[in-house]
Structure 1
Amino acid sequence: MHTSLKLASLAATATLVLATASPALADEPVQLVKCEVSLGSIALVDSPNAGWSQWNLGSPRQLLTSLATESGCFTPHNGGTEPARFLVTAVAGSQEEVDQSVEFARGAAAEALVRSGAATSILRSVPFGGAALGMLGGLGGRRTTVAAGLTVVNPATGQPLAAGTGTVTSTTLNFRGSGGTFARGLAETSGYAGSSEGRKLTEAFVIAFNSLVAQGAALTAAPASSAAPAAATAAATVAVDTVLRTSASSSAGEVRALRAGTTLTPTGQRDGLWIEAEDSFGTRGWVSVEDLQ
């Protein structure tokens, strides 16, 4: 009982301190965090909630790859035999839409930070960590024009590890002249430089990315995936857009979205019309055979 109260108190205190640190940096230009050592490899998965399409923008995959590379905080997965350390999904839209999409992962991430004892050390160890983590405590207000969210899942377990959001009404990044080379280069990787919404979304993803890095303690504490075993059965192909779930039930939690044509490797486990399978990144979950070819 006392332990639960202590954790709850620490979580509330950390959220309060970090949330109040955020407004002080509100008018300062956002900067991408830098890391001396990579936290691990990441595989990027398109979310079914592709909110960027409402602004006639494409997938932010290349933008996120550039953020990982430029910061040195993550290594883009090379598609080899080793599974990715982390699975990252991006969402975009209004603040309310993004907050709803990352709510569960955000709660899991906050709990992991408190348990790891990292909540008080992040302010000292990560540039802009306080402002980034403040977003995890809740993003109030309804004047958002563009919002972005990133969630990190452990491919080995399907467990959410961290979540970060970024909200931008007026970009602080410089996209013009020699001083805007970095921001312009980021935006151009995904074709975002040509519109106001694209430039704002670029900054929103930078903020969300910084937030993930600030939760490095929770990320590195997660068990790593082992190399995928040789397939015991033939590969399966997804026939329609569907979802990989945490258990053999249509109401179970979502591990990741699956697009038609995605190749899965069955593990040999079966429960009724559901089979357990892995994707090429080593992400494991359950899918209905009715959604497979």
Structure 2
Amino acid sequence: MKFMGFTLGLIALCSTQLTGCGSTTPMQVGDSSAKTVATGSAGGENAQGANPQLEKCEKTLGTIALVEDQGADWYRILTTNYKLGPTSQVLKLLIQQSNCFVVVERGAAMRNVMGERALEQTGELRGNSNFGKGQMVSADYTLNPSITFSANDTGGMGANVASFIPGLSAVAAVAGSVKSREASTLLTLIDNRSGVQLAAAEGSAKKWDLGLFGGLFGGSAAGSMGGYTKTPEGKVLVAAFLDSYNQVVKAVKNYKAQTVEGGLGTGGALGVQGGSTPASQKVDQERRANRTRVAPTPPATPSNKTK
């Protein structure tokens, strides 16, 4: 009975002490700790609160659609392991804020776009809804994102070294709590009319997380510093995509079209013997010319033999 009374008393004491812990702070709308590097908004050619590191264009270069390979391994890991949504939503914000391209919808919202047209065709919409044909804008370009590498460091390479050195156990504890999150992304820009790749750019980002736990500086320090280890992987991925998109913008600002003698898609400049392309015909012509230039050696006769 004494043990039961002690247990109930302990539960009551814990409940009393934790009442304050159960209270919540007011909701912080627009809190900076919840933001990624893709900040602010965009409306038309105007942007508000955009990341100052985002590259921008004075002149819009054309319309663009985004496509993600949802069957790729990186997309499966992104949506299942990391519980993150499509990367296209973040990229659409960055693209519109940069004013380099006008984004046209070809993703999930396209179902609603076509659904409204289907309702109009069945007579369900009001008159003068203006959903007739010939109004949709074509996409001049396609941007294709992919994640080439994303990893969380298990942490503390320094801890393994410091733990073997006398007197450096505290250093080992700190080193073991330092972890890194890093990601590498890739963007390719395709011309929709020709299918030619116009630009490609890699981007990367890395963040160090520092978590100091109670064994080193006590419980209060552990509670406050441990929050730094909660940084979502998604924030690092967004930063990597910002980097790769900036590289795409730099590339298109300095764009110069690749040219092939004879034109693109006509066979190329590398010919083969017996081929039908201009480069292949040139190979055969040069071969015939070389054959005619080399005169055959006349056979030996008694008159030209050395006496």
Shorter-normalised TM range = 0.3 to 0.5
Considering fraction of residues, name the structure with more strand. 1
Q: Which has more radius of gyration?
A: 2
Of structures 1 and 2, the one with the larger relative CO (CA 8 A, separation 6+) is 1
